[in-house]
């Protein structure tokens, strides 16, 4: 029985999750192995394993830093710099700055070195072990000395290079002079902003020291498995033991502890994350709200917190309101029926803007609101004890207590607490919650209010935004650029035109900009500060409670509000978000599934697509006025990447040179539709503006085929290329005829006559391409996909024949491929061959390697050393799946182990099951690589030859070119384009695919010896 769309999506998600977990496990295994080798003193092997972990873990910052430090140990400064420079552009930690300073010093870039050390010393505490290094680096800069501040000791460290005392100041207050290396600061120094250290009126390196950076903590608290647990640390002084205080609801100190236990595992988001964790049983606390604070009396993220509020209740309650009050779980799929709709109108409308951090964002937000707010709407600012006094002074200047009001908190209460303060100040009013990092445009208030009252049971309204999870535009499933106010106004005008008056059902609202009707607010109640602390999820909790009472939530599809996102407490967002999502699912079982179902059904897709289409039309009109007319090339391809994707991108490059804009048609995940990609810019150029993105040109097939066709017919399409139909709906093939455009077919594999694509039969062997179609039918009938959607080989061949016969050109990448296509479609008059690369058969392999650019030269001493070893190394390149020879590789490794051959293998790339070779000392797998680093990565393996064990007749092989450019002669089976290219260039050997594994290893060993002998001859010359 065919699977439903939901079942297919779940299966896809499961397989993707399993794949990610395998990668994570492989990365962890590689990291552990790297540490083991490092502890043994095998730094070279440690680098090899750490580099693999680095590739697998998608540039995990902890692994990146560890790899950089290993390179430093080997004095490979260029490699260390390549890793450290971008890392320190994202993170701020002392060891990283010192490591980068060391590398910069070797480059003699003293201006950069000065900047790095100034920041490191002014924002971080010095460490005894590395203080001499800091002093030496300071001397290189010819400074008069350096200084630092150790927060845990309240002690300044001072090192000067000429006689005389130094003067110290806390802000503008003179502390005195000293000749000592250490100076203890007076009590209360933590309340100051800067420590100045000067000699003869000149600041030492590191002065002024930012005291608030030194004293800053990061912490988090949650209730987990019967405990109040969390973490706390001083990022500027990671080894410092923080003190944690617990205050009850009466602000009485009940407990104080020193937090000293380390996390058992590394934090993935922050390099060298060394927070101390705590775990206290709930029995130590009463059922009330607790404030959990650091030594500076600041709440941890997640505080205040009630340790007992979510403990399961034994009472059986019928009242939904009582269940909400006592936090008794209610299904996320429960919908109430009779909301208490008010008979009277709201007393007015108030916009509540909580303010904490972000001067520029907040000022821009308030200015945008002031320019768009009607006279009858109140603006209520809430200062949530902002640490930025300048920001509050600016806001206070705008307060007139007629339309603009300001509430000030004496301690930070978080977003829910700030919102509730605003709501309490205006009872009976409709409310718009608005983040302080938003931008609004004319008409936003009127449209939100109109949407809220378009139906009697609407409780909340949310607009579109660039950053609003499921309500985001243009992307809803990945990050969008942050729009300027000009872009916000443009998108607002667009939505008012295209989606005027449209409201769409939603499962929840989003608190960045959320309209709440007064009657919904009165019945549902305030946001729950006692559950969600600083925020994230509190508006979803409100919406669930409102839904249970009968209220609905909608999107106003004609409103766009810009949103920067995460300004107030960016670093701890993930921890708080994870905690609060868990709370939501505990309170409302099935919440995540409810939202996921909404996303899968994507009710907003058509509205997003309409917006994209209208933006494109506006774009064309504007360009036409400028005298610019675009011509397009339509390319049908798959979404699997690999060699086909590279070939497509190279075609795109050539088409651009002809002045054409590529439009790619790719299948959707389930193959039930297609998506168009209009590439106005090269893939290597970042799209920095929302107006450049058109990701919603998605069409369900076959039901929206006419819309797709009509859209394409309006484009000035000059060229149509077919590269792959894999996973495409059959309706896409109809475009070849309905568009009436001459088209070219590019052959990348054998899908035109083999549904298995790679010519491997059910036994995972090359089938030999039988002439009898009945044999092909029997083979195809064994495919799982064939059982679900019956494949008739007669129809398959006839369809392909029609498409090829009607094509203006049929192009293959090699003569071997052309011959195979001709064999199956003899009626084709001409098949063109366009090789994907120039193999330069006129050059020897040494000449080709010489002219290939390498950025990472291997020291000659290492090459000499490896030449004279008695073991030999074979390099494989690429992603080795079944058709690429995975089973061959597995057998070769096993045979070499069994016979203890002086032969080892290295794979630059990955296999379908890396874990199988985890404990093998015979095969090392680097992990995936970027194309631009491939040749250098192969070079670093110092192999004797390369082997390509593909068991199908490949149509081309980019990896073969990588091997040659790295100077490696190659061995391959006498099959397909690889064998043809080796024979043409004489850069290797071809062997029979029928050879036994023992014979294959013996031959590989012989070829290694030949290659080694050739290298020795070069050395002796």
The proportion of the chain whose per-residue pLDDT surpasses 90, expressed as a percent, equals: 81
The reported pLDDT for the residue numbered 1020 is 54
993 or 535: which leads in pLDDT: 993
336 or 575: which leads in pLDDT: 336
How do residues 221-230 score in pLDDT, each as one tens digit? 999 889 999 9
What residues form DSSP beta bridges with 11?
none
pLDDT at 615 over 70: yes
- What element of type H or E holds 557? strand 552-560
pLDDT at 771 over 80: yes
Over residues 469-490, mean pLDDT: 94
pLDDT at 616 over 80: yes
Distance CA(584)–CA(537), nearest Å, equals 7
DSSP 471: G
pLDDT at 327 over 70: yes
Distance CA(704)–CA(707), nearest Å, equals 5
The reported pLDDT for the residue numbered 575 is 84
Whether this model's pTM surpasses 0.85: yes
**Roughly how many angstroms between the first and final C-alpha of the chain, as a whole number?**
70
Name the pairing type of β-strands 988-991 and 182-184. Answer: unpaired
Distance CA(106)–CA(590), nearest Å, equals 57
Over residues 814-819, mean pLDDT: 97
The reported pLDDT for the residue numbered 689 is 76
The reported pLDDT for the residue numbered 567 is 46
3-state secondary structure of 43: helix
DSSP 401: S
Q: What mean pLDDT, rounded, does the chain reach?
A: 92
3-state secondary structure of 635: strand
8 A C-beta contact, residue 399 and residue 370: no
Q: 768: burial class by Cβ within 10 Å (0-12, 13-18, 19+)?
A: exposed
The reported pLDDT for the residue numbered 568 is 43
How do residues 103-121 score in pLDDT, each as one tens digit? 999 999 999 999 999 999 9
How do residues 584-613 score in pLDDT, each as one tens digit? 999 999 999 999 999 988 899 999 999 999
DSSP 301: B
pLDDT at 653 over 60: yes
How do residues 107-164 score in pLDDT, each as one tens digit? 999 999 999 999 999 999 999 999 999 999 999 999 999 999 999 999 999 999 999 9
8 A C-beta contact, residue 705 and residue 616: no
Q: Which own/partner contact pairs does 984-992 have at CB distance under 8 Å and 24+ positions apart?
A: 984/839, 984/841, 985/839, 985/841, 985/845, 986/841, 987/845, 988/945, 988/946
The reported pLDDT for the residue numbered 855 is 46
The reported pLDDT for the residue numbered 286 is 93
DSSP strands (E only) in 586-637: 631-636
How does DSSP assign 887-932, residue by residue? HHHHHHHHHHHHHT-SEEEEEEEEES-GGGGTT-SSEEE-----GG
3-state secondary structure of 348: coil
pLDDT at 856 over 60: no
DSSP 782: T
**Of the candidates 888, 918, 635, 865, the residue with the CA atom closest to the CA atom of residue 766:** 888
Distance CA(789)–CA(103), nearest Å, equals 60
The reported pLDDT for the residue numbered 787 is 56
Phi, psi of 135 (to 5 degrees): -60, -45
Q: Which two three-digit tokens encode residue 229?
A: 């647990």
**Of the candidates 930, 950, 937, the residue with the CA atom closest to the CA atom of residue 881:** 950
Over residues 401-413, mean pLDDT: 92
pLDDT at 171 over 80: yes
* 3-state SS string for 820-846: HHHHHCCCCCCCEECCCCCCCCCCCHH
Among 63-67, 503-507, 783-787, the least confident range: 783-787
8 pLDDT band, cuts 50/70/90, is confident
770 pLDDT band, cuts 50/70/90, is very high
3-state secondary structure of 983: helix
How do residues 522-537 score in pLDDT, each as one tens digit? 999 999 999 998 888 9
The reported pLDDT for the residue numbered 865 is 43
693 or 648: which leads in pLDDT: 648
571 pLDDT band, cuts 50/70/90, is low
The reported pLDDT for the residue numbered 237 is 96
Distance CA(712)–CA(708), nearest Å, equals 6
Over residues 458-472, mean pLDDT: 96
How do residues 260-316 score in pLDDT, each as one tens digit? 887 665 445 677 888 899 999 999 999 999 999 999 999 999 999 999 988 877 667
Greatest mean pLDDT among 267-271, 356-360, 836-840 lies in 836-840
The reported pLDDT for the residue numbered 934 is 95
Phi, psi of 84 (to 5 degrees): -70, -40
The reported pLDDT for the residue numbered 858 is 45
Distance CA(256)–CA(246), nearest Å, equals 6
């Amino acid at each position: 029985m065919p699977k439903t769309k939901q079942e297919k999506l779940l299966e896809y998600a499961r397989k993707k999750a399993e794949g990610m977990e395998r990668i994570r496990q492989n990365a962890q295994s590689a990291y552990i192995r790297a540490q083991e080798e490092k502890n043994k003193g095998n730094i070279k092997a440690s680098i090899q394993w750490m580099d693999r972990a680095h590739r697998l873990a998608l540039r995990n910052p902890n692994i990146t830093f560890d790899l950089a430090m290993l390179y430093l140990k080997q004095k490979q400064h260029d490699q260390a710099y390549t890793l450290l420079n971008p890392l320190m552009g994202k993170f701020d930690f002392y060891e990283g700055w010192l490591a980068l300073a060391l590398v910069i010093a070797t480059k003699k870039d003293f201006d950069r070195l000065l900047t790095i050390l100034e920041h490191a010393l002014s924002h971080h505490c010095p460490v005894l072990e590395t203080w001499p290094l800091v002093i030496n680096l300071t001397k290189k800069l010819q400074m008069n000395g350096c200084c630092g501040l150790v927060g845990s000791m309240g002690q300044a460290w001072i090192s000067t290079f000429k006689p005389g005392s130094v003067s110290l100041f806390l802000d503008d207050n003179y502390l005195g002079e000293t000749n000592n290396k250490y100076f203890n600061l007076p009590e209360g120094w933590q309340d100051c902003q800067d420590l100045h250290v000067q000699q003869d009126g000149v600041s030492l390196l590191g002065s002024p020291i930012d005291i608030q950076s030194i004293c800053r903590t990061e912490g988090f608290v949650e209730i987990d498995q019967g405990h109040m647990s969390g973490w706390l640390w001083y990022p500027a002084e990671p080894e410092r033991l923080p003190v944690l205080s617990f205050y009850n609801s009466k602000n009485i100190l009940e407990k104080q502890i020193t937090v000293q236990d380390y996390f058992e595992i590394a934090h993935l988001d922050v390099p060298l994350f060394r927070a101390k964790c705590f775990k206290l049983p709930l029995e130590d606390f009463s059922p009330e709200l607790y404030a959990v604070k650091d030594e500076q009396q600041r709440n941890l993220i997640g505080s205040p917190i009630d340790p007992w509020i979510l403990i399961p209740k034994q009472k059986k309650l019928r009242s939904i309101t009582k269940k909400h009050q006592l936090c008794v779980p209610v299904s996320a799929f429960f919908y109430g029926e009779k909301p208490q709709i008010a008979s009277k109108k709201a007393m007015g409308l108030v916009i509540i803007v909580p303010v904490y951090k972000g001067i520029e964002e907040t000022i821009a937000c308030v200015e945008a609101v002031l320019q768009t707010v009607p006279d009858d709407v109140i603006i209520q600012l809430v200062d949530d004890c902002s640490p930025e006094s300048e920001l509050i002074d600016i806001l206070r200047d705008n307060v007139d207590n007629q339309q603009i009001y300001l509430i000030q908190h004496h301690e930070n209460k978080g977003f829910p607490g700030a919102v509730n303060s605003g709501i309490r100040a205006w009872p009976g009013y409709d409310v718009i919650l608005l983040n302080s990092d938003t931008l609004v445009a004319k008409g936003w208030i009127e449209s939100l209010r109109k949407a809220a009252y378009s139906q009697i049971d609407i409780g909340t309204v949310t607009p579109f935004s660039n950053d609003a999870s499921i309500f985001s535009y243009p992307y809803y499933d990945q990050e969008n650029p942050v729009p300027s106010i000009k872009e916000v106004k443009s998108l607002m005008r667009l939505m008012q035109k295209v989606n005027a008056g449209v409201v769409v059902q939603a499962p929840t609202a989003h608190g960045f900009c959320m309209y709440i009707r007064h009657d919904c607010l009165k019945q549902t109640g305030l946001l729950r500060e006692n559950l969600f602390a600083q925020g994230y999820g509190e508006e979803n909790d409100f919406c669930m409670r409102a839904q249970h009472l009968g209220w609905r939530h909608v999107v106003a599809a004609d409103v766009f509000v810009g949103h920067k996102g995460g300004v107030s407490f960016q670093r701890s967002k993930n921890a708080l978000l994870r905690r609060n999502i868990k709370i939501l699912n505990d309170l409302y079982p099935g919440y995540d599934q409810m939202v996921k179902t909404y996303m899968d059904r994507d009710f907003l897709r058509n509205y997003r697509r309409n917006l994209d289409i209208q933006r494109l039309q506006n774009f064309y009109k504007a360009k036409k006025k400028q005298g610019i007319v675009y011509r397009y090339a339509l390319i049908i391809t798959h979404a699997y990447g690999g060699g086909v994707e590279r070939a497509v991108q190279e075609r795109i490059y050539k088409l651009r040179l002809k002045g054409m804009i590529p439009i790619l048609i790719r299948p959707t995940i389930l193959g039930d539709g297609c998506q168009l990609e209009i590439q106005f810019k090269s893939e290597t150029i970042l799209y920095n503006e929302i107006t450049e993105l058109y990701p919603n040109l998605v069409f369900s097939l076959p039901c929206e085929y006419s819309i797709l066709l009509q859209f394409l017919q309006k484009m000035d399409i000059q060229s149509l290329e077919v590269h792959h139909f894999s996973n495409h709906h059959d309706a896409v093939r109809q475009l070849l005829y309905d568009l009436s455009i001459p088209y070219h077919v590019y052959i990348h594999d054998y899908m035109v006559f083999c549904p298995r694509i790679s010519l491997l039969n059910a036994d995972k062997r090359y089938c030999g391409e039988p002439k009898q179609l009945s044999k092909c039918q029997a083979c195809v009938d064994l495919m799982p996909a064939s059982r679900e959607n019956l494949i008739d080989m007669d129809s398959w061949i006839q369809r392909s024949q029609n498409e090829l016969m009607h094509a203006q050109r049929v192009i293959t990448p090699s003569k071997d491929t052309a011959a195979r296509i001709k064999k199956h479609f003899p009626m084709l008059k001409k098949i063109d061959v366009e090789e994907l690369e120039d193999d330069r058969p006129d050059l020897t392999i040494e000449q080709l390697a010489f002219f290939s650019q390498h950025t990472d030269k291997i020291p000659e001493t290492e090459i000499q050393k490896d030449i004279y070893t008695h073991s030999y190394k074979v390099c494989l390149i690429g992603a080795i799946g079944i058709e690429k020879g995975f089973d061959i590789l597995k057998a070769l490794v096993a045979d070499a182990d069994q016979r203890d051959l002086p032969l080892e293998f290295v794979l630059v790339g990955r296999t379908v099951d890396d874990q199988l070779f985890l404990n093998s000392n015979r095969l090392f797998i680097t992990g995936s690589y970027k194309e631009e680093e491939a040749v250098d990565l192969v070079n670093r393996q110092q192999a004797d030859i390369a082997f390509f064990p593909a068991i199908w007749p490949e149509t081309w092989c980019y990896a073969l070119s990588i091997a040659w450019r790295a100077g490696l002669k190659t061995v391959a089976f006498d099959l397909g384009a690889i064998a043809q290219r080796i024979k043409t260039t004489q850069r290797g050997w071809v062997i029979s695919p029928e050879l036994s594994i023992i014979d294959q290893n013996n031959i590989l060993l012989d070829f290694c010896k030949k290659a080694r002998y050739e290298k020795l001859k070069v050395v002796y010359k």
